[in-house]
Each structure stands twice: as C-alpha cells, then as structure tokens.
Structure 1
Amino acid sequence: MSVRQVTAEERLTTSFALGAYAFEASPRSAARAEEFRGYLPYNKGNRTLVVEEGGTTLAAASAIPMRQNLRGEVLPMAGVAGVSSHPLARRQGHVRTLLHQLLDEMRDEGHQLSALYPFRPSFYARFGYVGLPKPRTVAFSPADLGELLAADLPGEVGWGRIGDGYQGWRAFTERCLNERHGFAIFPSYRDVGLRDRDEHWLLTARSGGKVTGAVLYRIDDHGGTLVADDLLATDPVARMLMLQFFGRHVDQVERITVQVAADELPELWLTDLAVHVEARVARPSAAAPMARLLSVDALAGLPAGPGRVRVELTGDRWLAGSYLLDGTTGTLELIGGTAATAGSPPAATLTAAGVSALAYGVLDPVEVGLRGLGEVPADAATELRRLFPRQVPYVVADF
C-alpha cells in the first residue's frame, strides 16, 4: 500500500471515479465519465492524495487552497473535499492515513485553518474539527413582498447572467471575505467555473455606484420556484432592493427560496411576510460545515477582549503545547514556552476542537467542557469568554 499525490490527468480514473461512486447516482454512464475531463481546469490547484495497492485506488482526499475570515483576519484555509474510499476498502484506516498526510502538507505550506462538509461529523471530530452553523433556507411567496413594489428605495439593482457579471461578483465576494467572520471563498481557478458554466442569473444591489448586495439564482419552471443561493447584503437597503426585485416575479413563480446566515431574522423583514426558515442537518446528504485550527499561529493578532488565560492544548497532532493567551492590549498575544507557565493566570485544558470552537465563536467555554472538549474551570471560562466573545460564522462556500 502506498500514498501519493496524483496529477491532474490521473484524477480522471482515481479521485473522480471514487468520488462519483460515493456522492452520485451509480453506476455512472460512459458519458458521465467523459464529463470528468471538463472538471480538470477547476481542480488544477487542488492537492489530491490517494491510497493505492496493486494498481487499485483504495481511497482519495483533496484539499482546496482557500481563504477564510477568522474574527476579522483573512487566513489561508485548507478546504477538504472529495474524501472517498473504495467500497471494498472501507473502515480500514485509509482515510485517516490520507487526512493526516494531507493536513500535514497543507499546514507546512502555511494553511492555518481547515474546513469541510462531513459525511459523518463524529468521524471528523476525531481529527479536531468542530461544527459550525449551517446557513438557513428561507421560503416565502412573492405575493408577500407586495408592499415593497411601490417603495422608493435608495439605490438600484443590476441584473444579468453570471457569465457576464462574474468579475463584479468575484470582487463583491472578496469584500465579503474581508468583512464577515467565517466567510470563505474558493481560489479563482475554482470559482471561475461559475462564469464558464453560466447557469445562474446574477442580481446585484448598488448604492452610489458601489455594489452593496448580490445573489445568484435560477428559476426551475413557470409557476415553480425561484431558487436563490446566499443573499449577500452589506446593509438592509441592499437586502430590500433585492427582495423588491424578487417581488416582481409574483405572476411567474409560486415560491422563492434564499439562503441566509444563521443570525439573520427573516421573520422581521416585512410585516406580513409569512416565512418558513429551516436549517436541515442530516447524514449523509445535508451536513453542516465543520472547521478547525491547523496552527496556533492563527490566533496571534486576532481582535480579543481583555482576558488572560493559560491553556494546555492536548491530544492533537498539530496544536499540542502550552500557551499563555493575553488579550489585554485588544489583540491576542500568544506566548509559548516557559513564559506560558509563568505567573498564575487561570488555566484550562483544551482539545483542538475545543480551542477551534472558541476561536470560531460557536461554543461558550462552559459548553466546551460539557461537550468533553476540554477541562475549563470557572475562572478560566471567564477569561476565555472575554478573549473569544460568541460570534456567528457564515460559511458560504460548499466544497
């Protein structure tokens, strides 16, 4: 048995083939297999590792070099994708072997974070990943947007196909990356597939000539559903402009669905808006994202409250060690070595998932202890709560 990185052409018969069996209807047709070649340009910068034995690919996993916002800092992030194994080689440790080597290599190249969509969350929890909120799906009737149709809103909307508007879309998502905690974007070689496939309408909101909102959408049929992806808006006016546009489809579609962040409150958008808001999580087809720190250096320099605590990071391949976390200056200072044990600040023991949960803002320090992700005494919990106030990460990219 051996582990190696495959070339672009080799993906056609190794990782793509296993991934198709794991995540698509099967057996695949010859035409479907030929379609794989069209995916190669959008995977050219990915790192794909496979386990092989006797010329047979037993397992595969890829990492996409992405970027993600962590509490206001944009950091290199390894998006793990395409994790799959041969049906006769499952539960034999091959995926574990691949993930260890894949994350080793991505960390060595400077990726300080990692995120993924799990086939089973408990499996990836063993690798230090912790769950993040799943964006909500909001469904409503365009008829309920009627009060917006006559509203005189400042700004304007732009409309066209993503193939024509891709550059503006990409620029706006770069802005969101810099402004929204948890936001992640693909490298340009992957994201450009949106332009090349040209399968979406692009709606933008503008104010003062500047794009302030954007959403991709499709219409499945006359009398059907307008299916929108993430409704990205930098302010309430941008959101209202886009909803007003959707309201003009009242005689075309029966229903509208959009994706929004977990901290959005669609029930307050309009007075008579009847909405259904759902975040469905199920195995294996409707997973919520997970993420983890790959390096403690990801913490250094983050905005922080005035806390001070000593932490022992245990049981992890990449984060183990003792550190003093000091946020008294307003930015997080990370002190290791013997200096981390000097003095007598409150102390906590955290797993990789525990410290990742705090950094991403998804668990309170007390919850970290209750979930078995560390030992956090009350005084340490107080300091950690100051250092890492709760925040809601908004992970948009589905990889």
Structure 2
Amino acid sequence: MRIRRLAAEERLTTSFPLQAYAFEASPLEAARTDEFRAYLAYNAGNTTLVAEEDGITAAAVSAIPMRQNLRGAVLPMAGIAGVATHPLARRRGHVRTLMHQVLDGMRDEGHQLSALHPFRASFYERFGYVGLPRRRTAIFTPADLAPLVRAELPDEVVWERIGVGYGRWRAYTERCLRERHGFAVFPEFRAVGLRDRDDRWLVSVVRDGETVGAVTYRIDNHAGTLIADDLLVDDPYARTSVLQFFARHVDQVARISVHVLPEELPELWLTDLDVQVEARVARPDPTAPMARLLSLDALADQPVGGGRVLVEVVGDRWLAGRHLFDGTSGKLAVEPAGASAEGAVPAARLTAAGLSALAYGVLDPVEVGVRGLGEVPVDAARELRRLFPRELPHLFADF
C-alpha cells in the first residue's frame, strides 16, 4: 500500500469518483462526472490523501482548513470529509491509516480542533471524536403564523438572491463565529460555492444598519414546501421578523421547514402553533456531527470558574499524557503534571473522546464515566464541572 497527497487535478479521477460511489446514487450519470471539474475549485486548499494498491485508489480522505469557536476562542479546525473506501478494499485498515496521517499533518500545521460527520459514530469515537447536537428541523404551516403578520418590529427585512447578498451573509456568519460556541465556517475558497451556485434566497434582518439575523431558503414548488437552512438570529425580535416574512407565503406554500439551533424551542414560538420538531439520527445517514481536540493548546487561557484537577489522557495519538488543569486564576492553565500533583488534587482518567466531550460541553463528567469514556471520581467530577460547564455547541457548517 502506498499513501500520497493528491495534486488538485488528480481528484477528478481518484478521490471524487470514490467519494461519489460512497455518498451518491450509483452508477453515476455521465453529466455528474462533468460536474467534478466545476467542483474542483472549491477544494483548492484541502488536503486529500489516498491509499493506493497496484495503482488503484483503495481509500481517500480530505481535510478542510476551517475555523471553529470553542467556548469563545476561534481556533483552526480540520474538517474531515470525503472518507471513502473502494468496495473491494474495505475493512482492511486503510481509513485508519489515512486518518492518522491526515490529522498528523493538520495538527502540525496548527489545527487544534477537528470535526466531521461520521458514517458510524462508534468508529470515530475510537479516534477521539465525540458527538455534538444534531440540528433540529421545525415543520409548520404558514397559516399558523398569521398572528405575526401585523406585529410591529424594530427591524428591516432585506430579500435577495444569495449570489447578490453573499457578502452580507458571509459577514454575519463571521460574526456568529466570534460569538457562538461550536460555530464553524468554511474557508473562503469553499464558502463561495454558495454564492456561485446561487440556488438560494437570502432573508436578512437589519437593525440600525447591522445584520441581526439571516436565513437562506428555497421553494420546491407551488403549494409545496419552503425549505429553509439554519435560522440564525441574535434575539426574539430578529426571529419574529423572519417568521413574519415566512407568514406572507400563506397562499404560496403548504408548509415551511427550517433548521433551528439546539437551544431553540419552536413549540413556544406561538400559541396554537402546530409544529413538528425533530432531530433524527440513524446509520449510515442522517448522522450527528462529531468533534475532538487535536491539541491541549486549544484549552489554554480559557476563562473558567475555578477548579483544579489532574487529568491522565489515555489511548490517544495526540493528547496522551498526564496534565494538571488549573483554573484557580480564572483562566485555564494546562501543564505537564509533576510529582507534587500526585495525591494533592483530584484525579481523573479520560479518553480523548471523554476530554473532548467536556471541552465542547456536551457531557457532564458523570456521563463521561457512564459512557465508558473515562474514570471520573466524585471529587474530580466536581472540579471538572467548574472547568468545563455544560454548554450546547452549534457546529453550523454542514460538510
């Protein structure tokens, strides 16, 4: 087996067809292969590795250089995508080898976090990844939004094609990146695909010259469904402005489907709103996203509410070791554990997935133990809660 990094044009005949076989209808229509070349530009800055056997591509994996907010710090993040194996080469360890190499390289380049959508969550948990909340979908009729039509709101609503409004959209998502835990964005070379495809409408909510909410959407047909992507808003005023806009489609569409953040409660938006809210997870699809720490540097100087604990990370290629997590100054310091720390502070033994679960705020220390992601005594759990309180991340970028 030979592993190598692809040059850009090589993707057309190696990784793209393999990924298409894994994730699309198959066999491919001839027109689809022609689309590969148009898609090539949006992969320009990716790292793509392939494993080859006798000149045949046996497996492929790509890493997208992204950015993600971890508890207020915007950090370089490796988005793993396009993990695919030739049907005659599966279950022979090719993906494991490629994952190790691509994450080695991304970490060496300074990427401190990584995220992906798994084909099987338990497989990636062994690589230190932990599940994040899957975005939920709210489905309702525009008629039920009628009480909002005459609401007096402080906002202006701007309606345009995404190709025209892309700059406004990108600027708003960049602000969300700075302000929202878990939020991630694609690099510009990938993100502009949304502008170039121009297959969405954009609704922006503007207040005092500043964008305070936005959502992209399309309509599948007359009397069909208005299909909205992630509803991003700063506050209830902005959310209501978007819903008021949707209400004006009462004689055009039968239903509205919109993705909402984990903390949103659509059932409380309106009295008598008949709404279906779901977040379905299945194998092999749809899956919930997963993420992990690639470097303990990602935790340095995080504001914390105190806490001091000795953490031994086990079984991981990148984080293994004994470290003292000290938040007594109000900012987290992570240092190699010296002999003086032994027995002086509470101690926990964690897998990389267990530590990542705490860092991303998706599990309580007790849940980490129950899930088999570590051994967390009561005293250590108390300290870890002070260092890593629960906080719902919203990954946003759908790769």
TM-score tier, shorter chain, comes to over 0.9
Cα contact 1:323–1:340 (8 A) shared by 2 = no
SS in 2 for 1:362: coil
Equivalence for 1:305: 305
Q: CA deviation at 1:339?
A: 6.6
Shift, 1:34, TM fit: 1.3
1:292 and 1:139 map into 2 onto residues whose CA distance is: 31
1:15 maps to 15
Checking the alignment, whether the CA contact within 8 Å between 1:112 and 1:294 is kept in structure 2 is: yes
Alignment of 1:1-399 (within 5 A): 1-338=1-338, 341=341, 344-399=344-399
Runs of 4+ residues over 3 Å off in structure 1: none
Contact 2:310–2:337 (Cα < 8 Å) also in 1: no
* Secondary structure of residue in 1 paired with 2:338: helix
C-alpha contact (below 8 Å) 1:357/1:368 kept by paired residues? yes
Output the TM-score relative to the length of structure 2. 0.99
2:241 is paired with a residue whose SS is: helix
Q: Distance in 2 between matches of 1:227 and 1:40?
A: 27
Structure-2 separation of matches of 1:191 and 1:238: 24
CA distance in 2, matches of 1:163, 1:39: 17
| Structure 2: unaligned runs, 5 residues or longer | none
Q: Distance in 2 between matches of 1:304 and 1:320?
A: 23
CA contact (8 A) 1:136 1:260 kept: yes
Number of residue pairs matched by the alignment: 399
Paired residue secondary structure (1:151): coil
Which range is displaced more, 269-278 or 139-148?
Answer: 269-278
C-alpha distance after superposition, 1:174-228 (max 9, x if no partner): 0000111000000000000000000000000011111000000000000000000
Question: In 2, Cα distance between the equivalents of 1:40 and 1:75?
Answer: 26
Query: For 1:339 and 1:243, how far apart are their aligned partners in 2?
Result: 59
Amino acid at match of 2:143: A
Aligned-pair RMSD on alpha carbons? 1.0
How far does residue 342 in structure 1 lie from its aligned partner after superposition? 5.6
Cα 1:49/1:251, change in 2 over 3 Å: same
Contact 1:324 1:340 in 2 (8 A): no
Deviations 1:89-148 (A, max 9, x none): 000000000000000000000000000000010110110100110011000110011001
Residue type matched to 1:370 in 2? V
Within 1, Cα distance between the matches of 2:340 and 2:30?
Answer: 60
Unaligned runs of 5+ in 1: none
Cα contact 2:59–2:83 (8 A) shared by 1: yes
CA positional deviation for 1:327: 1.3
Q: How has the CA–CA distance of structure 1 residues 292 and 15 changed in structure 2, closer, same or farther, with 3 Å as cutoff?
A: same
Residue 194 of structure 2 aligns with an amino acid whose one-letter code is: L
SS of 1:192's equivalent in the other structure is helix
Residues 70-90 of structure 1: CA deviation (Å, up to 9, x unaligned): 001100000000000000000
Q: 1:29 Cα deviation (Å)?
A: 2.1
TM-score, normalised relative to structure 1: 0.99
The alpha-carbon deviation at position 314 of structure 1 amounts to 0.7
**Residues 324 and 337, structure 2, Cα contact 8 Å, conserved in 1:** no
Between the aligned partners of 1:305 and 1:49, the Cα distance in structure 2 is: 42
1:391–1:57 distance in 2 versus 1, CA, 3 Å: same
Q: Which amino acid aligns with 2:20?
A: A
Letter in 2 for 1:307: G
Q: Give deviations 1:147-172, integer Å, cap 9, x for gaps.
A: 01011111110000000000010000
Output the CA distance in 2 between the equivalents of 1:22 and 1:47: 19
